[in-house]
Structure 1
Amino acid sequence: MPGFDAPVPAGGYRWWYLDGLSDDGRHGLTIIGFVGSVFSPYYARARRRGGADPEDHCALNVALYGDAGHRWSMTERGKRFVSRNETRLAIGPSAMRWEEGALVIDIDEVTVPLPSRLKGQVRLMPSAICHHDVALDPQGQHSWRPVAPFSRIEVALDRPKLSWSGIGYHDSNWGSVPLEDSFESWVWSRAATKEGSSIVYDTRLRSGENRAFAIDISADGGVTGRAVPPRQEMTGTFWRMARHMRSARPFRAVSLLEDSPFYARTLLRMQTEHGEADAFHESLSLARFRSPVVQMMLPFRMPRRG
């Protein structure tokens, strides 16, 4: 398994993603550690100048949902605030680390646009580690690995005061070129079933080619491919983001967790062959992300400490 010290080429990226939903369904979170922050306007500007160093554009994105309210932080930091080795990635006062088989995230961040403190710890305990890599484009410039697709998660925050446990998920993406150079859009979803995780990727390349795949991953890390489900349209968002879901069975949107001009995250409840399941769903428009207007808006959500 590539560690936190895995190389990232100039202009490239690597991120480590995790999400979780409490057993009672009242709380959720997502956390992403970035080396070469793919949505950073500062990194995009550095790439246009040439020779952009991904380690000079790192961030820990934390988003909380549910009864404690919606909170978001994503402060980008330069390389003098970043250190990483095989088992630990530190970005400013926060860090992700592997400890005795668990992925531990120590959080100390400030939210935007209204400043408040996010401080505490999250622990993700995998049932198994998955070693299945998938190339997301024909050139193999973008890859994905569902590292710990079926996990338990424990959340213990001091600010806000919040603790819960539930089902968690962890994956990693990496690439040698910017996302927007290769993709027009992508849709990703993962449903937490009683047997493991059910995951669908549906991408559209800048060439116009559509590429999609669907896999099921069992609690012991075994991967089984399956036919890509049919496309079902979803309603648009406030920012008129088009959304769709690949599913052969009925589903409904429980909550729109994130809504921006180029990205939407939705919590779904869907029917599976193993019964009803909750699913995190992402819609990403790289065509919109490339827009100069969107690039001008991003610093309000992604401040930088150089």
Structure 2
Amino acid sequence: MAQGPRFDTVVPPHGYAWWYLDATSADGRYGLTVIAFVGSVFSPYYKLVGRQRPDNHCAINIAINGPRARAWAMTERGQRAVNRGPDHFHVGPSSVEWDGECLTIAVDERSAPLPYRVRGRIRLWPDLIATTGFALDGEARHRWHPIAPRARVEVAMDHPDADWTGSGYLDSNFGDEPLENGFRDWHWSRTHLSRDVAVLYEGMRRDGRPFGLAMLCDRQGRWREADAPPPHRLGRTGWAIDRRTRADRDSRPRVARTWIDAPFYARSGIDTRLFGERCFAVHETLSLDRFASPVVQSMLPYRMPRAIL
């Protein structure tokens, strides 16, 4: 198999790196996301100290949603609690490791503001590895690197109690400046079609120029550009954030479920039609103008605590 994820990327001052996994259960009842951050882009602590030391602001975020199994945890830790190498990324008691065939995520965290245990193991086996990276802005300060657009996932959580298998997706993003310096907002989705994986990116750069990508990945991991389908509005989030997507003409995409509804961010599952197929898409909306507001910044520590050691 081709080269998988590497966790030893050098992150410059003011920059960030993250590795993102999402998965849905085969029966459609459960959803999961895990994001491992260096220079945590949403960290109020990293921003407060001028974003000079990305490795001193790391976190492994996990969100689980499903019947009687909902959990969220994201505790930031400093450099003394972090160990990164080409095939591993340890943050406190949690870790992400790649053995050449399987990505294993061991989670042992506590949620916030209610301090309940979040512990378990997630494994991801790629069906294919993609090796092409894409710039999201003209100066390539922000870059998206898909890794495993289609994968098999096994979830075994002790707290909350959740055991299931399903399909998943793995990518990474890197930046040389704060995310809100580059963008006002974005809307992203990934969809497993019968043959291809479709990824749609669009939004507004900080200078007011729109950007967009419509990409298809085949079973060999080769990406090709596609004509972007027409835009469609989705319902607003509970925090009144506009959600947009792309879908085939005359189709009516709808939000089937919202897994995360935060003041500046939402992750949802949508029923839609893309490139001639009825499908289910994982969709996210991010408002960086909202994120940068003083009110939202004051709220963040309650959901994203920083460990003392």
How does the TM-score come out when normalised to structure 1? 0.96
Q: Say which is worse superposed, 221-230 or 179-188, in terms of deviation.
A: 221-230
Q: Which stretches in structure 2 are left out of the alignment for 5+ residues?
A: none
Contact 1:150 1:218 in 2 (8 A): no
2:20 counterpart (17, 20, 34):
17
Aligned residues: 303
Alignment of 1:44-83 (within 5 A): 44-47=47-50, 52-83=52-83
Contact 1:217 1:224 in 2 (8 A): yes
C-alpha RMSD of the superposition? 1.3
Say which SS state the counterpart of residue 172 (structure 1) adopts.
Answer: strand
Tell me the distance in 2 between the aligned counterparts of 1:120 and 1:274.
Answer: 38
Superposition deviation, residue 100 in structure 1 = 3.8
Tell me the distance in 1 between the aligned counterparts of 2:63 and 2:219.
Answer: 26
Contact 2:31 2:259 in 1 (8 A): no
Superposition deviation, residue 26 in structure 1 = 1.0
1:265 aligns to what? 267
Superposition deviation, residue 114 in structure 1 = 1.8
Higher strand share: 1
Tell me the distance in 2 between the aligned counterparts of 1:202 and 1:166.
Answer: 27
Q: Residues 70-116 of structure 1: CA distance to partner in whole angstroms, max 9, x if unpaired?
A: 21100000110000000000000000010241111011111122221
Tell me the distance in 2 between the aligned counterparts of 1:203 and 1:190.
Answer: 15
1:227 aligns to what? 227
Identity of aligned residues (%): 43
Tell me the distance in 2 between the aligned counterparts of 1:69 and 1:163.
Answer: 10
Alignment of 1:1-306 (within 5 A): 3-47=6-50, 52-248=52-248, 249-273=251-275, 275-306=277-308
Q: Residues 188-235 of structure 1: CA distance to partner in whole angstroms, max 9, x if unpaired?
A: 001122224111000211111001010111232121210112111112
Tell me the distance in 1 between the aligned counterparts of 2:120 and 2:74.
Answer: 16
Tell me the distance in 2 between the aligned counterparts of 1:124 and 1:196.
Answer: 19
Superposition deviation, residue 260 in structure 1 = 1.4
Tell me the distance in 1 between the aligned counterparts of 2:179 and 2:169.
Answer: 22
Say which SS state the counterpart of residue 75 (structure 2) adopts.
Answer: strand
Say which SS state the counterpart of residue 77 (structure 1) adopts.
Answer: coil
Q: 1:273 to 1:176 in 2, by over 3 A?
A: closer
Tell me the distance in 1 between the aligned counterparts of 2:176 and 2:100.
Answer: 31
Q: Which stretches in structure 1 are left out of the alignment for 5+ residues?
A: none
Q: Spell out structure 1 runs of 4+ moving beyond 3 A.
A: 272-275
